[in-house]
Amino acid sequence: MAFLLVIPSIDIKNGKTVRIVQGIPELHCNEYGSDPVEMAKIWRAENSKMLHIVDFDALHGDKNKNVSLLEEICNSVIIPVEFAGGIRTLEDANKYFNLGVSRIAISTLALENLPEFKKIFDTFGPKKIVVSLDVIDNEIVIKGRKIKTGILPIAFALKLREIGVERFIVTDVKRNGMMLGPNIELSRAIADATQAKVTLSGGIRNKDELMDVQALLSVGVDSVIVGRALYENRFPCQKLWRVAELGIFN
């Protein structure tokens, strides 16, 4: 029986676990404990099946600051680690996979340098490389969510689908970290248009909203990335994953 995969997010900045509103450090940044490795172990102990790691220092140019932390996280848990953080070259991708990362999420590169993205994608394939679609007001944004592109998310997703991309992480930036509820329709629309798998990211506040997303399994929205709601104990983690694994959300 299929069930919704709930993926805790660990955002790292200056070597610490943080929660960054709308994914933009300049807006607001809360610390949630000082040790990302310990946080990874906590989520694993809570029965998480996957982790989503965002390196905000790498995203903004300092690609070496948290490398040892990321490697330690990968060595400390036996579950897959998905990583996002300023991948710009095939060499970047190789480095992170060599650290133990299981899957890489790419955003800006896919739009700004499609040939380099294709090189990475052709080397590692659709199971290892996914694309993050960061959206503000139905417009793709890049460069750490600071630059609007004027490109519609469905149009961009369809272009990447032609290349062979099989999964998109879809984030409504205005809802990310804001506890405003998920933009379910955006994820549904991209899944419908592309027939690809979609991970919904941003806005989840409670178990009821997970049940709403669970209803989209049939169209390809099969997972959610959750940050603030988990860190602030909006619902009990162990019960949450147990319910998900039994497939009894509805």
Contact 7, 51 (CB under 8 A): yes
Question: In the 8-state DSSP scheme, what is residue 3?
Answer: -
Residue 24's SS3 state is coil
Angular region, 5: left φ>0, alpha ψ -120 to 50, beta rest: beta
CB 203 within 8 A of CB 176: yes
The residues annotated with a catalytic role in the active site are 11, 134
Phi, psi of 39 (to 5 degrees): -65, -40
By C-alpha distance, which of 28, 15, 18 is closest to 58? 15
Which amino acid type is present at position 180? L
- Find all residues with CB under 8 Å of 98, minimum gap 6, and list them: none
Question: In whole angstroms, what is the distance from residue 171 CA to residue 168 CA?
Answer: 10
* Alpha-carbon gap, residue 2 to 109, rounded angstroms: 32
Helix, strand, coil fractions of the chain, as percent rounded to 5? 40, 25, 35
Closest-CA residue to 200 (of 209, 74, 163)? 209
- How many other C-beta atoms are found inside a 10 Å radius of the C-beta of residue 88? 18
